[in-house]
Amino acid sequence: MKATAKANTNIALIKYWGKRDEKLFLPMNSSLSVTLDRFYTITTVEFNESFEKDIFFLDNVIASDKEVEKVSKFLDKVRIAAGVTYPALVSSENKVPTAAGFASSASGFAALAAAAAKALQLDLSGRELSVLARQGSGSACRSIYGGFVEWHKGIEADGSDSFANQLLDENAWDFSILSVLVASEQKNVSSRDGMRQTVLTSPFYKGWLDTIEGDLSALRDAIGDRDFDSLGKVMESNALKMHGTMLGAEPPILYWQSGTMDVIHHIQLLRSSGIPVYFTIDAGPNVKVLCMPKHEQIVYESLIKLPKVKKVFTCHPGEGVTYL
């Protein structure tokens, strides 16, 4: 009863921001992401009735009690589905530069869900696996698939229709995603707390929800037409709107630093010089920059020269969950 799975992380082009059910990780809005090729988690799960309790190794080090509790709580869902109570030995290797603002929770829970379900021979469909991964971290449901992925928010109270599916595979359209590191310290408001605070207090949150369907439909069209400029424009405005909702929260949430603004201004400058390049920002100060592969080198070289930029990681669209 042992299996190993690998899942890549993903970056949202239309963001998930806000939950309608915190326990089941049900979102207020649908979202759309691209799975990346370079950053991933590999997880092995072994269930054995002779084990005394769940044990969790993260990068070969025994994890904190808090981390073990999170994993155990998640594994309970898989155990219930399989009708067993065996403890598990979980070992995860994280190849995600968390300091670069890439969420390791997406690849982490996608790999854990896939390995645990396989180890217990649950034989889940992609949709069922996505529903399971969602209950560890919302964005994890999108990492089940490669390429462009939409997470449908669903309307059912039990979350059975809140799942992700693939719109276009990773080989259908290539572009470059540069993750620009301007700060590596831990942020002081997690995305989980930040979204809760925004939903509860921001007068702008309703405006966010009102524009989501329009943004999704414009992005789906851009993907269908392989229209990079339209994709970039919608992605950028969606990210700025998400940060706008946070600025209206009480107390306000501002993840950006001066380096964040420098990168934004630099992208605007590059664009005015004729290079199609766009940015998005998650719940942190670092910036993800999208451009066409033919401009990757020039964009990289100009970004790395900015005084507050510490590192730039380059990725491309990548595959969904695989079993090793």
Which residues contribute to the site for ligand DP6 (CB under 6 A)? 12, 15-16, 25, 31, 103, 105, 137-139, 191-192, 282-283
For residue 284, give every residue at least 6 positions away whose Cβ sits within 8 Å of its Cβ, in sequence order, or none.
Answer: 101, 183, 187, 255
CB of 119 to ligand DP6, least distance (A): 23
User: Cis omega (within 30 of 0) on the bond before 251?
Assistant: yes
User: Which residue lies nearer to ligand DP6 by CB, 139 or 286?
Assistant: 139
User: Which residue lies nearer to ligand DP6 by CB, 64 or 190?
Assistant: 190
CB of 225 to ligand DP6, least distance (A): 23
Q: Which residue, among 120, 172, 108, 119, has the nearest Cα to 144 in the 3D structure? A: 108
User: Which residue lies nearer to ligand DP6 by CB, 138 or 159?
Assistant: 138
CB of 307 to ligand DP6, least distance (A): 26
Q: How far apart are CA 324 and CA 321, in angstroms?
A: 10
Rg of the chain in Å (alpha carbons): 19
User: Which residue lies nearer to ligand DP6 by CB, 75 or 120?
Assistant: 75
Angstrom distances, CA of residue 274 to CA of 172, 226, 238 = 25, 19, 22
String of DSSP letters for 107-155: HHHHHHHHHHHHHTT----HHHHHHHHHTT-GGGGGTTSSSEEEE----
CB of 90 to ligand DP6, least distance (A): 18
User: Which residue lies nearer to ligand DP6 by CB, 25 or 279?
Assistant: 25
Q: How far apart are CA 104 and CA 154, in angstroms?
A: 24
User: Which residue lies nearer to ligand DP6 by CB, 120 or 281?
Assistant: 281
Residue 272: exposure state from Cβ atoms within 10 A (0-12, 13-18, ≥19):
exposed
- Strands 88-95, 55-58: pairing is parallel
Tokens representing 292 are: 């066409």
CB of 81 to ligand DP6, least distance (A): 20
User: Which residue lies nearer to ligand DP6 by CB, 139 or 176?
Assistant: 139
User: Which residue lies nearer to ligand DP6 by CB, 196 or 271?
Assistant: 196
Q: Other C-beta atoms within 10 Å of 64: how many?
A: 11
CB of 239 to ligand DP6, least distance (A): 9
Beta partners for 152?
none
Q: Could you give the dihedral angle defined by the CA atoms of residues 62, 63, 68 and 70, in that order, rounded to the nearest 10 degrees?
A: -150
CB of 194 to ligand DP6, least distance (A): 8
State which residue has the least CB distance to ligand DP6: 138
Assess contact for 64 and 80: CB atoms under 8 A.
Answer: no
CB of 117 to ligand DP6, least distance (A): 19
